[in-house]
Structure 1
């Protein structure tokens, strides 16, 4: 399972996130809850988590300072930033440290789970390529699962892509068997993995090119000619529309 720690100076927020989310269903283990950046930094240096969910503004060491310090120490944890309106200059600064995941407060259970699922998908993708050398829990995947991950990358823009489509057109294997095996090896359902990869790719495009052509972005990440559904899915994941996200980070 992936290890996650939470950092927020508001007790009610950190306790709510910790208790409300069904972490096990995401293949994630809650490994620590911290009230400031200093606590989170010390814990991260000790246990080397896979994921850190942190508020930007905290007394003492801020979330941005936490991310920067861990980056400089070579800690490869993926970070999800919690930010309020007016704090996106901090989020822009965090891009220097490869942070691509943001949640706008107030956010709900579904948005947090979606963001964590995206991060898990990113980690799985990197591990399949042998890039995540820092993790103590690094896993190698079977040829079958690695092939599925490669096919997802190669066919990102195909709106018909599903595990059934992959099974019938490339793997020539039983889709139920592939589904069970994918979840056993990765800890995620394929649908969650695919959605996480698509949302992550959409954010990368929005950060790099802005949100002027949502139709083109929707096509690139597999939503075909349905930019409205893409926008709905993106907002469900982040709490912001693609254009709102782009205005704050581009």
Structure 2
């Protein structure tokens, strides 16, 4: 049943409209009429009518002023203006304020019925659309809930389903940039199984304010998959999650009179690593010394390579300049001894060696274009079958750095300038055409020169430069993934993540732990 309210300062006009409405709209509820704009506002706020017939010229507040007030007070009635004015300015103003239609006095029954029928038709359509949207929203929420439960189950089973994660995030219009797994238990409480599901619902609702999350209860344990996004990453997830979990712990204590403990995994960039995070959480919770909020820390010898490698890099660069092969071998032996002490295998040593050569290259070729990119270095080093071969290859590459003689032809100058321009502008949105135009040659000619002399395309060179500088930022700075990507020319964190892993075989987090000895 639709509610209709009439507002007119002439009582006889109100009675006439009431009679016509009762005759033609028997299912409508006719509210008591009002005779001024102030009462119109009060009645509309109180009864929330679906349709209002309002005269423009009323005492207190006129119809236009009342219409404006109704919109400010979020009264969503359809308003039909009833006026003796023929001034189009009044009508235009009413339509601008959201009036659905207007009638000219005297109002004839046929015109009134037509106007109200039109408005009621719009209301019926809006009601139907709203109902359909509610059904669609419920179906969407049910689908997301099923996907979420499937994702959590796949973690518990040790078979994470990345395709389902991608679909779940697509539905949220978000991108997965990494996250953590958290296990919550309530020790020494026999009744926990009774209200753990209630705790889960409360926690799920609270988490909506801070991050994207999935939750599940299994065998008296609450599992939380937290995806902060934005500014939270591997470098700062611990203080962020500690504050969040302490807040949840206090609320659980207040609402349920029990003490919860949380085990937190390390940051995981890849969903497929979440089962590993599950083991980390369990190890933390099984530790009798665990605090209320406890983080998994890798229990192995930890040392920082930053200070140790810096001095050895400078020594190696000096030995290469002096062409002192004996000193270079001695320095390299020290470096490999340090890596071995850190428990590194051949695979890790190959990548550490590539990073070490990069730093030596920075010392030796400051201001010039790089002789080797990371990818090229790794191709040279990863064919070594043992540590002895690897050391030989490292020395061979180091001796090439100061010997990079180039034929001074006009073609080589073009290539040299193009590569140097890429290395100085890798963080910008540069193209083959723009670089060729800068050099005064065609893009086709430049592309052919790069392929003939370097065996690389423009895109490959640009990617190499960006990955090189990303590794440098990972090694020397504490930026999160999103900021590293942006600083080397990738505006999409997801795309940067994929390109980085494709070109290095490692995630940003894995590279940082390797280069810093963590």
TM-score, structure 1 normalization: 0.50
**Structure with bigger RCO (C-alpha 8 Å, 6+ apart):** 1
Normalized against structure 2, the TM-score is what? 0.25
Question: Which has the greater radius of gyration?
Answer: 2
